[in-house]
Amino acid sequence: MYLVDTNVMLAASAVHELSNHAVRAMPQEIELREMIYEWLAGFDQSDRRIVLDEEGLVRDEYERNMPFNMHGQEYGMQVLQNKLDKNLVEYVPINSLEANGEHIAVLEHAHEVLVTDREDRKWVACALAAQVLFDQVPPIAYGAETDWFIAEAQLMGIGLRFQRLLPDDWYNARVAAG
């Protein structure tokens, strides 16, 4: 089981020149995008499961960031559809609330302070819910996301797991640049 952050879906989609994300997805370096694409393609072809929340927050983020375009469905959405078609999706219950027009996941206060980006709370909530339901914590796969890199050690302290898809020096350079 894996939680796949949206930045992975975007970067893998951006490998295709007709993607709506070819210009703006991170990382910009094509060889790094290809590394992410290779991981996602391997995940797509495997029997590994993707974790989604019953509230639909993860899927809503995917759809918001990768809408169907005139050239077709973005690769990241194709992967999601393949997992749905093959019944390789685990749904987990999370708590959420609507605030200021946003639908966000609710975490315990001690966990909230570890996750500075409110959009990232859904991934933590899903990982914690999967731990309760399946007695295992699915790794959060991430690409060009320094927020995860910065918070990773503290979040591992509460039992979360991560799958970094880029070399450590890429993250270290971005964090050092501020």
Give the model confidence (pLDDT) of 122-176 as tens digits: 999 999 999 999 999 999 999 998 999 999 999 999 999 999 999 999 999 999 9
Residues 6 or more apart whose Cβ sits within 8 Å of residue 140: 2, 3, 5, 123, 127, 148, 160, 161, 162, 163
The tokens of 156 are what? 């591992």
Say yes or no to pLDDT of 103 above 80.
Answer: yes
* Structural domain harbouring 113: 3-177
Mean pLDDT of 22-28: 82
Mean pLDDT of 86-102: 93
What's the domain count of the chain?
1
Answer yes or no: are the C-beta atoms of 12 and 76 closer than 8 Å.
yes
What is the per-residue DSSP string for 39-99? Answer: HHHHHHHSSPPEEEETT-HHHHHHHHHS--BTTB--HHHHHHHHHHHTT-EEEE---EEEE
What's the pLDDT at 19? Answer: 73
Q: Which of 2-11, 63-72, 99-108 has the lowest mean pLDDT?
A: 63-72
Run of H or E residues at 140: strand 140-142
What's the pLDDT at 99? Answer: 80
Say yes or no to pLDDT of 120 above 80.
Answer: yes
pTM, rounded to two decimals = 0.93
pLDDT tens digits for range 44-82:
999 999 999 999 999 999 999 998 776 678 999 999 999
Answer yes or no: are the C-beta atoms of 66 and 13 closer than 8 Å.
yes
Answer yes or no: are the C-beta atoms of 35 and 73 closer than 8 Å.
no
Mean pLDDT of 38-47: 98
How far is the C-alpha of 99 from the C-alpha of 50, rounded, in Å? 27
Q: What are phi and psi of 114, to 5 degrees?
A: -85, -15
Answer yes or no: are the C-beta atoms of 11 and 144 closer than 8 Å.
yes
Query: Which range, 10-24, 34-48, 61-75, has the best average confidence (pLDDT)?
Result: 34-48
Q: Which residue has the higher pLDDT, 16 or 61?
A: 61
